[in-house]
Homo-oligomer: A and B are copies of this chain.
Amino acid sequence: MEELKYHYKYPHPSVTTDCVVFGYDGLRLNVLLIERGADPFKGHWAFPGGFLNIDESAQQGAKRELFEETGLRDAYIHQFHTFSAVNRDPRERVISIAYYALVRISEVKGGDDAAKAQWFPLDSVPPLAFDHDMMLRMAIKELRRQIHFEPIGLELLPEKFTMTQLRHLYEAILNKKCNHRHFSTEMLKTGFLTQLNETKAANNKATSLYRFNREKYNQMTKNGFHLDL
Contacts and interface: CB of A to CB of B under 8 A. Distances in A.
A58 interface: yes
Task: For chain A, give the interface size range.
Answer: 35 or more
A149 B86 CA distance: 28
B10 A6 contact: yes
B10 A58 contact: no
Q: Is chain A's binding surface mostly helix, strand, loop or mixed?
A: loop
Interface stretch (A12-20, A67-75, A102-110, A195-203): A12-20
Interface string A1-45: 011111111111111000000000000000000000000000000
Contact of A15 (B4, B57, B85, B95): B95
Oligomer: number of copies: 2
Interface of A: 2-15, 51-52, 54-59, 79, 81-82, 84-86, 93, 95, 97, 141, 145, 148-149, 224, 228
B8 A12 contact: yes
A199 to B, nearest CB: 34
Contact of A51 (B10, B51, B84, B149): B10
Which of A51, A82, A141, A228 counts the most chain B CB atoms within 10 A? A82
A81 B86 CA distance: 19
A1 to B, nearest CB: 9
Contact of A58 (B11, B12, B82, B228): B82
B4 A52 contact: no
